[in-house]
Amino acid sequence: MEEQGMVWRKRSFRTGLLIIFSLLFTLPVIFCNTGLWADEGESGSTEQAENIPEDPGPPPLEIQIETSSANPVISSPWSIFVLINHPSPSEVNVIPPRFPPSLVLERVRTDTRIIRREADRDSESSEPRNERWTRVEFLFTPIRAVTVTLDSFEVTVPGKQAKSSGMSVRFREQVQTVRRYEPRFRWQSPVPSVSSGEKKEFTLDLSNWDPQKSAPSGLFQGRVPVNAILEESLPTETGNGMYRYIISIIALGGETITLPPFSFHSDIYNLSIPEIKIPISPVKTDPVENDEDISPDDISETGLNNHSIVFPGTDEKVFSLIRGEYDRVISHIRDIWNEGHYAQALAEIRKNERDSLAGPSLITVRKEMEYALGLGFTRDEAWRPLKVPLVSWVILGILIISFIVFLFVLRPSFKLRKRLLPSGFKRGFFPIVVLILLIGLAFIFLEEGITNFSIGRLSAPKNTAVLLSTSAFRVPEYKGAVNTRFSEGQPVIVGDYHGEWCYAESPDGRAGWIPLQAVIIY
């Protein structure tokens, strides 16, 4: 029995050892398999992530070309619209092809348009969507009945570039019994730059004008910029209702000569001249020894270089008794002019032309000064020596003569009167003196009435003045419409003050409200 118990214990011990060894080998395998399963799960998820489709990125640059009208005719507006699928117009740059001479480019305008696009087949949504596109319009006026072939438009946006397809368009004559004239002005381009002091010619074309009517002239009278001298030729007919103006411009200084746009009425047409800006290139000069630098003070408030306009010569023949007064006035005005204060110099010479004894001798110099600034429509000053009007001098002369006659004729104490005059002359000469006084008074009132009638009646008080460069408004505020523009040194009559504004009228009839800081009363 004991042997059987020993055998059973040995078997139980062996069985326990086998179970322990089995567990020791089985547990690592279980843990390893668990890790492998986790790795397999993770690797599976990685493969699944790799199968996600990539972001296709932004859509490619797309260009569409449209025209209006479909059947273009000459002398009628025709447009090319370039549409780009980019929402910001400021980032779109359209480089057009070279346009033929038969197409006159009137304007280029950029705006945005909402384009309705159908949903893509691969898109989840089947509903159409609205996209904001940039639209660039090129507006032309065809002038000849020809077939025009245009190359592609090149479009660039940040990070993208594309080209449109070319196009061919045929323009035809418009068949009508009565031709309709729609005249237009345009500057020939490109606009070249001009050096300071250099004279260049610019061409202004008038198209579609009725040949049976006289073409307008004097377009830029009173509109000359302060930093240039402008000469305008008479219009020359070039055929088919087209006229050409040659505008000669001499740059006086600054960086740009600007002729602003303006409109006017001629015959039965309302015409508009577009703006033109002419860049002024600096004058290249050779270095000179001991050349002094020009300080910023040498540039006047008008932007003109003070040394660019030379003060006119003074070769006027002057009476010897007033030579000293003439030299003093000219010297003072020359100093003001050379400092760049052109309007102040013109105000000073007009003041002396009116009040100084040398006034009539200053007229020639004053006209040359105004010509140097490109002014027109000016008027001479009424001379009143020693600030006393000529009418007052006449009254004074009449009073002096009357007083002498009174002393010589009516005083009984004069023995000379008894010797030279008959006794009955006293009563006969008194009515003569009274008649002279009445004639003098009538002359005074008549002259005053004629003067008021000739210059027009503005609200009192009236003053003569010279203006700085300024715009004249229809109402006394900057938000009002601009009636006209006065150039530097323009003489005017001012009156009807309203706060910081006054009403000004030039000799050629241009008028409007101007700010007081632009007025120099003399």
Residues 90-104: tens digit of each pLDDT: 899 999 998 998 898
Residue range 122-147, pLDDT digits in tens: 556 567 778 889 999 999 999 888 99
Query: Are the C-beta atoms of 459 and 496 separated by less than 8 Å?
Result: yes
Rounded alpha-carbon distances, angstroms, from residue 303 to 101, 220, 252, 344, 465: 38, 21, 10, 15, 22
Is residue 301 helix, strand or coil? coil
Is residue 316 helix, strand or coil? coil
Cis peptide before 69 (omega within 30 of 0): yes
Mean pLDDT throughout 204-230?
A: 87
Separation between Cα atoms, residue 262 and residue 474, nearest integer Å: 15
pLDDT level of residue 213 (50, 70, 90 thresholds): confident
Q: Do the bridges between strand 236-239 and strand 482-486 make them parallel or antiparallel, or are there none, so unpaired?
A: unpaired
Cis peptide before 190 (omega within 30 of 0): yes
End-to-end Cα distance, the chain = 154
Residue range 343-383, pLDDT digits in tens: 999 999 998 888 888 888 888 888 888 888 878 678 888 88
In this structure, how many other beta carbons lie within 10 angstroms of the beta carbon of residue 207?
A: 20
Residue 195: closest CA among 274, 257, 247, 246: 257
Tell me the β-bridge partners of 63. Answer: 84
Q: Residue 426: is its pLDDT beyond 70?
A: no
Which pLDDT belongs to residue 431? 65
Which pLDDT belongs to residue 519? 94
Residue 213 corresponds to which amino acid?
K
For 6, the enclosing helix (H) or strand (E) is: helix 2-50
pLDDT level of residue 432 (50, 70, 90 thresholds): low
Q: Residue 491: is its pLDDT beyond 90?
A: yes
Tell me the β-bridge partners of 262. Answer: 273
3-class DSSP string for 234-275: CCEEEECCEEEEEEEEEECCCCEEEECCEEEEECCEEEEECC
Side-chain-facing half-sphere of 281: CA atoms under 13 Å: 11
Which pLDDT belongs to residue 27? 57
DSSP string over 475-512: SSSTTSPEEEEEPTT-EEEEEEEETTEEEEE-TTS-EE
Residue range 145-180, pLDDT digits in tens: 899 999 999 999 998 999 998 899 999 887 654 567
Which pLDDT belongs to residue 423? 53
pLDDT level of residue 5 (50, 70, 90 thresholds): low
pLDDT level of residue 48 (50, 70, 90 thresholds): very low
Q: Where are the beta strands (DSSP E) in 306-391?
A: none
Separation between Cα atoms, residue 387 and residue 366, nearest integer Å: 19
Is residue 285 helix, strand or coil? coil
Side-chain-facing half-sphere of 341: CA atoms under 13 Å: 15
Query: Are the C-beta atoms of 333 and 314 separated by less than 8 Å?
Result: no
Highest mean pLDDT among 64-78, 370-384, 389-403: 64-78
Tell me the β-bridge partners of 148. Answer: 169
Structure token pair of residue 78 = 């025709």
Dihedrals φ, ψ of 404, to 5°?
-65, -45
Question: Who contacts 289 (Cβ-Cβ below 8 Å, separation ≥6)?
Answer: none
3-class DSSP string for 147-208: EEEECCCEEEECCEEEECCCEEEECECCCCCCCCCCCEEEECCCCCCEECCCEEEEEEEEEC
Question: 């009156």: which residue's tokens?
Answer: 495
Radius of gyration (C-alpha) of the chain in whole angstroms: 46
The count of residues in the chain is 522
To 10 degrees, what angle do helices 342-355 and 363-372 make? 160
